[in-house]
Amino acid sequence: MVMVMENARPVTIVLVSAIASGQGKTTTTAALARKLLKLGKTVRVFKTGPDFIDPMMLKRACGHAVQSLDLWMVGLEQSQAMLAQAAQQVDVILIEGVMGLYDGNPSSADLARAFGVPVLAVVDASAMAQTVGAVVMGLRDFGPVQLAGVVANRVASSGHARMIAEAMRDIPLLATLPRQRQALPERHLGLVLPDEVSQLDSMLDQLADQLALDMPAWEGLPKLALPPALPTDTPKLLQGKTIAIARDAAFAFLYPTNLECLHDLGARLEFFSPIKDEAVPENADAVYLPGGYPELHAQALTQAGRWQQSMCAAYAAGIPILAECGGMMVLTDKLVDKQESEWPMLGLLAGTVVMQSRLAALGPQAWSTPQGVLRGHAFHYSRFETALQAETHTQKHSSGEPGEAIYRSGNLSASYFHSYFPSSPQATAALFLPRPA
């Protein structure tokens, strides 16, 4: 557990969790962040575990990039450093948990205990009243965890809220949120991208206004003082290199810390949009195609002749290319979407990607390279039908079983695996440098 330091700046920190997914953690965290902003507080939000889409929505709610905290993928020291840095700048830190409070290894509860952070439990109260008390007592005592209080979500009326509050015994009901006529829209990988939601800021403002927050109880929460982070020195292994990064609605799955890691390694970053038919910048020393939703933009990608030619030219010239998940999908011969329409892709990897309704892979994994172990995760609803032989496979955490295939062709590296670059800056740098002959 993090020790309290007298010279550190005390802030309110809570981890927002629940009994399961679907209880309203993201909606509640977004509503609470926006509400506190409107009350004049400075707020920073973090997301537990691997995630791309929820952090984008939470960024819109709080106005600042949302980073991942995870005891395995990010690591204890890096997680502590990011929390400590944020604590020197803001009044409130909200950490949205993943799945249920005790799900996973490590779990959201493990993270809360590691840093001495109290838990704010979100409960979908739409089909119960007094039983909310039993549910949250179980959440508190099973671990146990320090429970800051409860947010009752989808509350029907003031009478409903009163019954819930009376059943809570010694656990404070910190806030209630009524049933929403218009929920944040979702698709197969989670919430849709924020830029695709019309009037999103109005929706967030409305959620904040509807969140009935007990301010005296909130202000009475204990404040934590985290020890300042120790400075780190990242070797400038990419000094003088320019990395071209695809970034648009088709390639949106980027950890903010991945970009920071590349910058710390000395690289210059340039962004381009394949769906706008922007070519790979001519000065690029390497190309990064992150994940996203290429299947939703297959027609635009198929028609993007300048982008296609520039990618094929980069590959032929031996420029290092890293393609992750959606980035790998566009390198194949063909993409078959959920409507069974077939779209020709770049043809740099022989095979066909087929979208499916069933989840193909989910969970943390690690890629062992000669330069170090890159940690990350896999999460996709497609399969790659190919005769290509993988150079290696990632390993699933914590079973150690084979995970995603890693395909290498010249200086091209492609996989469904999403890397968390700060887990091994040396291994990251090697992916953007020509492979030894």
Beta-carbon neighbour count of residue 166 at 10 Å? 12
How confident is the model over 349-365, as a mean pLDDT?
Answer: 95
> Residue 184 pLDDT > 70, yes or no?
no
How confident is the model over 323-346, as a mean pLDDT?
Answer: 97
Beta-carbon neighbour count of residue 267 at 10 Å? 25
Has 312 been annotated as catalytic? no
> Residue 135 pLDDT > 70, yes or no?
yes
Say how far apart CA 46 and CA 255 lie, in whole Å. 12
Asked if residues 429 and 371 have their Cβ atoms less than 8 Å apart, the reply is yes
pTM for the model stands at 0.92
Say how far apart CA 73 and CA 109 lie, in whole Å. 16
Question: Residue 264 is encoded by which pair of tokens?
Answer: 């710390």
How confident is the model over 138-151, as a mean pLDDT?
Answer: 96
Given pLDDT bands bounded at 50, 70 and 90, which one contains residue 330? Answer: very high
For 163-179, how does the pLDDT look when each residue is reduced to its tens digit (9 = 90+)?
999 999 999 999 999 98
* DSSP-derived 3-state class of residue 176: strand
Domain ranges of the chain: 12-219, 242-431
Q: Give the β-pairing of 286-289 and 321-324.
A: parallel
Q: What is the pLDDT of residue 29?
A: 96
Q: What is the pLDDT of residue 6?
A: 46
Superfamily of domain 12-219: P-loop containing nucleotide triphosphate hydrolases (3.40.50.300)
Given pLDDT bands bounded at 50, 70 and 90, which one contains residue 233? Answer: confident
Q: What is the pLDDT of residue 189?
A: 44
How confident is the model over 83-87, as a mean pLDDT?
Answer: 93
Q: What is the pLDDT of residue 183?
A: 58
Q: What is the pLDDT of residue 156?
A: 94
Given pLDDT bands bounded at 50, 70 and 90, which one contains residue 4? Answer: very low
How confident is the model over 352-359, as a mean pLDDT?
Answer: 95
Asked if residues 297 and 254 have their Cβ atoms less than 8 Å apart, the reply is no
For 31-52, how does the pLDDT look when each residue is reduced to its tens digit (9 = 90+)?
999 999 999 999 999 999 888 8
Asked if residues 46 and 66 have their Cβ atoms less than 8 Å apart, the reply is yes
Say how far apart CA 101 and CA 112 lie, in whole Å. 10
Asked if residues 388 and 369 have their Cβ atoms less than 8 Å apart, the reply is no
Q: What is the pLDDT of residue 231?
A: 76
Given pLDDT bands bounded at 50, 70 and 90, which one contains residue 418? Answer: very high
Given pLDDT bands bounded at 50, 70 and 90, which one contains residue 232? Answer: confident
Asked if residues 292 and 326 have their Cβ atoms less than 8 Å apart, the reply is yes
How confident is the model over 416-428, as a mean pLDDT?
Answer: 98
Q: Compute CA distances 267 → 209, 240, 311, 376, 410, whole Å.
A: 43, 6, 20, 21, 22
Say how far apart CA 404 and CA 298 lie, in whole Å. 23
Superfamily of domain 242-431: Class I glutamine amidotransferase (GATase) domain (3.40.50.880)
> Residue 78 pLDDT > 90, yes or no?
yes
Q: What is the pLDDT of residue 187?
A: 45
Asked if residues 82 and 106 have their Cβ atoms less than 8 Å apart, the reply is no
Confirm whether 12-219 and 242-431 share one CATH topology.
yes
How confident is the model over 227-249, as a mean pLDDT?
Answer: 91
One of 62, 261, 312, 325 is an active-site residue; which one?
A: 325
Mean pLDDT, the chain, rounded, equals 93
